[in-house]
Amino acid sequence: MMLQNNDREIILQLKGGSLEALGTLYDHHRQMVYRTALMITGDNQAADDLLQDVFLRLFRFAGNFDAERPLEPWLYRMTTNLAYDWVKRRRGLVSSLEDLADWLISSGKNTPYEVVEQQDEWAQVQMAVSSLPLNQRVVVVLYYLNDLSIQDVAEILEVPVGTVKSRLHYGRLALKRKLGFTQEMVPDLSYERP
């Protein structure tokens, strides 16, 4: 795995129950965890809650960690697993309400995401990602947002490399279709690093 272990000393402190170490690890990784959770769930409040859950679990289970191994794969795995669970739970809770909404909106073609104001070009991409099937969405988020290799994504999700490639392929096709991709849509990069 390409990910590096930069947190060894801090994890050793965390194993001793240090809250300061927890705070330091939170500062190092909060943006990655939060943005991954947000992109998968599409819900700010859920992403905040998942951020808390991930780091509480990190604190709780620190004793089981091998300090020699990088922390990021565990964080990615925990974040995606919890986000998976959240989306599945919510899907069950809101499905009946969504059915009602579909019935009320006679056109029936627009998803809730599509009826949101679409003045922000970047937000359109986020909405397109949110509308992907969950399995494809998770792979797209880990690959594009977090710059992980296909091999890394496969290890984190514990699925074969071929499965990741397949999900990524169909995710990309769906995104291109939803975005009506054309060459002139590629704007300048203005990515602000965490």
**Minimal distance in Å, beta carbon 102 to other proteins?**
27
**Minimal distance in Å, beta carbon 135 to other proteins?**
17
Told to check if 170 binds other proteins by CB under 8 A, we report no
Distance CA 47, CA 53 (A): 10
For tokens 């909060």, name the residue.
Answer: 30
Told to check if 155 binds other proteins by CB under 8 A, we report no
Distance CA 182, CA 45 (A): 34
Please list, in sequence order, all residues whose beta carbon lies within 8 angstroms of the beta carbon of residue 140, skipping any fewer than 6 positions away.
129, 132, 167, 168, 171, 172, 175
Told to check if 161 binds other proteins by CB under 8 A, we report no
Distance CA 109, CA 40 (A): 22
Number of residues that bind other proteins (CB under 8 A): 53
Residues 76-115 that bind other proteins (CB under 8 A): 82, 85
Told to check if 64 binds other proteins by CB under 8 A, we report no
**Residue among 129 and 138 whose Cβ is closer to other proteins:** 129
Helix (H, G, I), strand (E, B) or coil at 146: coil
**Minimal distance in Å, beta carbon 33 to other proteins?**
9
Distance CA 50, CA 86 (A): 9
Told to check if 172 binds other proteins by CB under 8 A, we report yes
Q: What angle do CA 88, 89, 95 make, to 5 degrees?
A: 85
**Residues near other proteins (CB under 8 A):** 19, 22-23, 26-27, 30-31, 34-35, 38-39, 44, 47-48, 51-53, 55-57, 59-60, 82, 85, 120-126, 129, 140-141, 144-145, 147, 168, 172, 175-176, 179, 181, 183, 185-187, 189-194
